[in-house]
Amino acid sequence: MTQTRLIETPQTRLAMLGHALPVRAPAPVGAFDNARRHGDLLFVSGQGPVREDGSLAHGKVGLDVSAEEARAHAELVTLNLLAVVNDKLGGLDGVGAVVKLVGLVNATPDFERHPFVIDGASELLHAVFGADGVHARTSYGVASLPNKITVEIDAIFAVRPEWG
């Protein structure tokens, strides 16, 4: 009896985690592009928690949104970041490493769990890319974000040199 062995790729890891990339990356909400490649780096513009139906997760973390809900929103943002990467590189296999994340949390002045919220993104990237998904990161709270979204994250990815 022959055993079929599943080749683990970022795409298959996402599926094993119960996630799928959005059909298309969310459109930019201003005069900029979702991503810009420079050499072997891909700079992905800040993405928000846009659901598959186009609706936004919004609210103030620490007031009407819990830290746990915001953490799930950070995971959703990460799927949108990966959709941008997929669009720009033609697949997630082109990612050599996740270099840096900057996570903003729309939070009350006394909210202190910004790292916990953005860990929703960091842990998903680690699960999808393994050791190459561990990255440098900044997370902080802000008074507001566009469209009153809860979380915005931008990222820098290293592109595999052989990926063109």
pLDDT in tens, 44-102: 999 999 999 999 999 999 999 999 999 999 999 999 999 999 999 999 999 999 999 99
**Is 58 a domain residue?**
yes
In a domain, 52, yes or no: yes
The answer to whether residue 4 is domain-embedded is no
The amino acid sitting at 33 is D
pLDDT digits (tens, 9 = 90+) for 131-157: 999 999 999 999 999 999 999 999 999
Q: Tokens in use for 138?
A: 């900044």
Band of residue 5 on the pLDDT scale cut at 50, 70, 90:
low
Residue 53 structural domain = 10-21+32-163
Residue 105 lies inside a defined structural domain of this protein: yes
| Distance in angstroms (rounded) separating the CA atoms of residues 70 and 30 | 24
The pLDDT of residue 120 is 98
The yes-or-no verdict on residue 116 having pLDDT over 80 is: yes
The answer as to whether 3 is a domain residue is: no
CATH code of the domain containing 123: 3.30.1330.40
Q: How many domains does the chain have?
A: 1
Alpha-carbon dihedral sign for residues 25, 29, 71, 114: positive
2 domain residue, yes or no: no
Is residue 27 assigned to a domain? no
- Residue at 108 is within a domain: yes
> Half-sphere exposure of 55 toward its Cβ, with a 13 Å CA cutoff?
4
The answer to whether 129 and 73 are in contact (CB under 8 A) is no
DSSP code, position 132: G
- pLDDT of 27 reads 87
